[in-house]
């Protein structure tokens, strides 16, 4: 049995040696093919993916709302706001070159996601869940294919200029706000009647308080470091006191004493207001009348009912209950008309009261003699005090608002990593060359065996002939 097996082992050994001898004979062809494939792959990769020279810096945004990718005014934040065409144009101008340089295709920005967050995102994707993360750090990069198009100093200057231009635009947009304008003409108290001046002051103070409410909502308990720890809440409290105490007291004196500078002009103004009230009153009465007429029509028996005989004559088995239609009408129309009628009647009654009030004021003015100089002087002094106080409060509010806005945008845009330059390539030359070399190796081995097989087959055919 041993003698029978030895030829088989011997035959296998001979075949393996023959294979190795064959590969050794073709070694230069195999090596050349491996080198050619690897070289070709490297060349194609270098042409398709040229070396890029990248200068990169990292910036951080710190302002209220960025944690939800919102701007300070509540609008949606987009990282491309940092590299708008206007900002890039101003940054390119900082190079002080004669030719105009377009940075649009060279600049890229991307959000930086920490590794631990990336892991959480992957886990969420496996669970088919969403994972919300809003980064406040961004990579700003300048990439060029030509090494000498910019010097390293110029590249760094471009990136820092982009950040600086965005910071300026951010501070201008969110760090500056139209000041609350409460201005009075010098001849206000002399030109207008007492009642008109009071109405003007009331309107200005109401507008001022609305402005302060909006600032309190945003700034909360923010207090100034320059103006004695003053806050928007304090200014609002002073404005409300001025309106509810000083101005109301002056208005009461004017109303009680019926003080006026020109009695005839005031009477004519009251008459004009009465005519306007009468027109509005007639409109409301007409509106109420129409609503009542429609309500009366809706109450008519059988107006919205569908008789059973009519439905049977049409050959249908559908029977509508009149109560259903009645309830539907009441819900959709009756209540609406009733509300309209009541509202119009109430407004008409109120207008009638206003009219009677003005008519009484006209009668009192006609019968009243001119006011005493002492009372007039007191009112004028009080109105001047209110005017000065409003101006002072508005000035304080503007100063505090400017300080708050400057503080809110201070440090909002920061460079946390200075520009660094490096070169990179999209394709991996080592992996590409290795893969091409393996492919070339197997292809050359296959080619060697195939050519040897063809040669041996040809020799065998010749011997057979």
For 56-65, write each residue's pLDDT tens digit. 999 999 988 8
Residue 184 φ/ψ, nearest 5 degrees = -125, 140
Please indicate, yes or no, if residue 461 is contained in any of the structural domains. Answer: no
Residue 4 has pLDDT above 70, yes or no: no
* Residue 43 resides in a domain: yes
Q: Provide the percentage of residues in the chain whose pLDDT is more than 70.
A: 83
Asked, for residue 419, whether it belongs to a domain, the answer is no
294 and 353 both lie in a single domain = yes
Residue 316 lies in a domain: yes
Q: Residues 379, 268: one domain?
A: yes
Q: How far apart (Å, rounded) are the C-alpha atoms in residues 426 and 51?
A: 8
Residues 313 and 219 both lie in one domain:
yes
106, 53 Cβ separation under 8 angstroms: no
Number of domains into which the chain is organized: 3
Instruction: Tell the residue number behind the tokens 């109405």, with chain if given.
Output: 199
**What's phi and psi for 61, nearest 5 deg?**
-110, 130
Per the model's pLDDT, the better-predicted residue between 73 and 13 turns out to be: 73
Q: What is the pLDDT of residues 243-291, one digit of tens each?
A: 999 999 988 888 777 777 766 666 777 788 888 888 888 888 888 888 7
Tokens of 173: 């947009």
Residue 454 inside a domain? The answer is no
**Which pLDDT value is given to residue 170?**
92
Ordered strands of the 413-424 beta sheet: 107-111, 137-144, 52-61, 413-424
Would you state the torsion angle of the CA atoms of residues 164, 170, 176, 178, taken in this order, to the nearest 10 degrees? 140
Residue 15 within any structural domain of the chain: yes
- Confidence band for 235, pLDDT divided at 50, 70 and 90: very high
Give me the domain span that covers residue 62: 52-174
In a domain, 447, yes or no: no
The CATH number of the domain holding residue 151 is: 3.30.300
**Averaged pLDDT for residues 323-334:** 54
Residue 100 three-state SS:
coil
Query: Across 262-271, 314-323, 428-437, which has the greatest mean pLDDT?
Result: 428-437
200-209, 250-259, 359-368: least confidently modelled range: 359-368
Does 98 have pLDDT greater than 50?
no
71 shares a domain with 44: no
Whole-prediction pTM value?
0.56
**Phi (first) and psi of residue 423, to 5 degrees:** -115, 150
**What dihedral do alpha carbons 315, 318, 323, 327 form, nearest 10°?**
-120
Does residue 438 share a domain with residue 366?
no
Q: What is the dihedral of CA 452, 454, 455, 457, to 10 degrees?
A: 120
Residues 340, 247 share a domain:
yes
Whole-number Cα distances in Å, 407 to 171, 175, 411:
10, 8, 8
Question: Which comes out higher in pLDDT, residue 405 or 370?
Answer: 405
**pLDDT tier at 179, thresholds 50, 70, 90:** confident
Question: Does residue 137 have a pLDDT over 90?
Answer: yes
Residues 131 and 217 both lie in one domain: no
Residue 157 shares a structural domain with residue 249: no
How far is Cα 372 from Cα 385, in angstroms, rounded to an integer? 20
314 with 243, same domain: the answer is yes
Task: Please give the Cα distance from 282 to 273 (Å, whole number).
Answer: 14
The answer on 438 and 340 residing in a single domain is: no
153, part of any domain: yes
- Structure tokens, 35: 């080198």
Verify that 31 and 96 share a domain, yes or no. no
Q: Does 155 share its domain with 68?
A: yes
């Amino acid at each position: 049995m041993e003698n029978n097996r030895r030829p088989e082992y011997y035959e296998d050994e001979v075949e393996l040696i023959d294979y190795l001898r064959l590969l050794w004979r073709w070694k230069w062809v195999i090596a050349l093919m491996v080198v050619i494939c690897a070289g070709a792959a490297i060349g194609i990769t270098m042409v398709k993916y040229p070396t890029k020279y990248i200068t990169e810096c990292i910036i951080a945004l710190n302002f209220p709302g960025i944690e939800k990718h919102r701007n300070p005014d509540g609008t949606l934040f987009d990282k491309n706001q940092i590299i708008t065409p206007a900002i890039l144009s101003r940054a390119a101008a900082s190079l002080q070159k004669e030719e105009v340089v377009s940075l649009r295709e060279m600049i890229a920005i991307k959000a930086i996601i920490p590794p631990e967050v990336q892991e959480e995102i992957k886990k969420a994707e496996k669970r088919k869940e969403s994972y919300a993360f809003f980064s406040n750090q961004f990579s700003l990069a300048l990439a060029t294919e030509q090494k000498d198009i910019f010097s390293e100093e110029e590249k760094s200057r471009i990136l820092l200029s982009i950040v600086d231009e965005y910071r300026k635009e951010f501070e201008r947009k969110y760090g500056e706000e139209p000041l609350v304008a409460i201005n009075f003409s010098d001849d206000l108290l002399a030109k207008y009647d007492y009642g008109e001046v009071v109405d003007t002051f009331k309107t200005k103070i109401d507008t001022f308080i609305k402005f302060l409410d909006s600032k309190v909502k945003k700034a909360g308990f923010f207090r100034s470091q320059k103006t004695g720890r003053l806050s928007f809440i304090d200014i609002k409290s002073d404005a409300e006191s001025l309106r509810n105490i000083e101005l109301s007291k002056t208005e009461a004196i004017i109303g009680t004493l019926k003080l006026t500078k020109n009695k005839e002009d005031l009477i004519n103004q009251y008459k004009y207001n009465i005519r306007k009230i009468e027109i509005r009153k007639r409109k409301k009465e007409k509106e109420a009348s129409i609503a009542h007429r429609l309500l009366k029509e809706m109450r008519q028996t059988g107006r919205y009912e569908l008789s059973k005989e009519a439905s049977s004559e049409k050959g249908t088995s559908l029977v509508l209950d009149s109560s259903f239609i009645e309830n539907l009408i009441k819900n959709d129309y009756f209540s609406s008309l009733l509300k309209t009628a009541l509202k119009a009647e109430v407004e008409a009654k109120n207008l009638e009261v206003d009219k009677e009030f003005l008519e009484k004021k006209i009668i009192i003015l006609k019968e009243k003699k001119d006011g005493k100089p002492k009372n007039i002087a007191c009112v004028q002094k009080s109105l001047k005090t209110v005017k000065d106080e409003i101006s002072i409060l508005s000035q304080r509010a503007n100063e505090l608002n400017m300080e708050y806005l400057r503080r809110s945008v201070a440090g909002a845009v920061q460079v946390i990593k200075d520009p660094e330059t490096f070169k990179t390539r999209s394709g991996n030359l080592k992996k590409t060359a290795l893969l091409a070399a393996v492919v070339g190796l197997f292809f050359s081995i296959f080619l060697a065996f195939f050519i040897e097989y063809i040669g041996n087959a040809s020799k065998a055919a010749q011997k057979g002939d």
